[in-house]
Structure 1
Amino acid sequence: MVANAHFLVDRWCLGVKDVVAGIQSPAFAKEMMEELRSKINLIECSPERGRSIVEGGVAYAASLGLKPHPDYDKVRWIWGDVDPNQSAVEEEFGFEGKPTYLPGPYDDKSRQRMILQTLNDSVGVGNYQLLTPDRSLI
């Protein structure tokens, strides 16, 4: 059996937005990866870099007062002893030096207001960017 976890990481602001995890047979896990590769452009990276991106995203969001997806703590054990400090890549968070929030399709108005208020409280008005669905900065 193969344990796997998929982390949706917003490196600009929210950190870990979603987590999907499970235990499957090796054949099913291979099938799932082939299906993902057929639908989206996956970029291979080392486990160390993967952990660095995920945990860096969590730390960045925490510095802004934002928490990761509720399932993150249930799944983070999957990294085992993978050392994110061994990643050969220095990760960047934020966009153009600022937290940048792009509301997602499941961010209702209440969640959007909560995130913007959290950013106001943590970094102050004018110290973050809001990206509209048409990708223009406010």
Structure 2
Amino acid sequence: MQPEQEQEILNLRDRQLTPKQIARKLGLKASEVSTFLQSHAEQTALASAEKGELLPVAQCLVDVNFAKVLLGNETSETSGLGLVVVTRSKGYNRFVAASYLIDYWCLGVKDVIPPRNCNDSQYKNFVQLSYSQFMQEYEEISVEQAQALVWGAIAYAKTLGFEPHRDFEQSKAHLGESTSEIGLKFGRNGKPCYIEGPHDNTRKIINTLKNSVGEGNFDYLFGMG
């Protein structure tokens, strides 16, 4: 395959054409196009790893309600939970995906599914399962927005005395540090609001809030678990 053909393949791929569509346009076999794309993606990922760089971002998702509240400055009385999924490309049809469950009213990063390897079909199943509790309503966002949502929630929770879920430590490198200047407002109606979960140490959380912001300066709701 000539260098000119390789570059044209990459150009067409950037336009979201499938290997079969690219092959028809260039008079090549679909298998040749797929093989080249896989090799190029693997070489790119390897070069990034050797430089200590993160894998390229494939897709970032967030549930629609979380996006409206924090990115659209709308209000929500239904839930203080949101889910961010960050997916990076490990090569052609190979991904590494992780999810971050955010309590943006109080606790910050409440749960994490650490980075996992998957192919295209496995990734689609991962996304559908992840957002099933959000009625599978989600939208794509930039990695900068995803980072701002997660790190912003962590920073807010720390002011209240809460650390992120223990699995965040092995997932923060995958997320990447936030460099965004996006202004986000956490909490509910200007103050923390704790909603009890099924696995929470409720007494410890309430005592932490009393110590950090003072009794009467936060809201809470029990029995939701």
Structure 2 residues without counterparts, runs of 5 or longer: 1-93
Aligned residues: 128
Offset of 1:57 from its aligned partner? 0.6
Computing the radius of gyration from Cα coordinates, the structure with the larger value is 2
CA shift digits 1:26-85 (9 cap, x unpaired): 33113332455664212322211111111111111111111110000110101246x441
Runs of 4+ with >2 A deviation: 30-40, 131-134
TM-score by length of 1: 0.82
Match of 1:119 among 209, 212, 220: 209
Q: 1:37 to 1:73 in 2, by over 3 A?
A: closer
Given the superposition, is the C-alpha separation of residues 52 and 32 from structure 1 closer, same or farther in structure 2, using an over 3 Å criterion?
A: same
The change in CA–CA distance for 1:61 and 1:27 in structure 2 (over 3 A counts) is same
Distance 2:98 2:166 in 1: 14
* Cα RMSD, aligned residues only: 2.0
Distance 2:131 2:193 in 1: 28
Give the match for residue 185 of structure 2.
92
Where do 5+ consecutive residues of structure 1 fail to align? none
1:24 aligned to 2:114? no
Distance 1:125 1:34, change over 3 A: closer
CA contact 2:106–2:157 (8 Å) conserved in 1:
yes
User: TM-score, length-normalised on structure 2?
Assistant: 0.52
Q: Work out whether 1:75 is the aligned partner of 2:75.
A: no
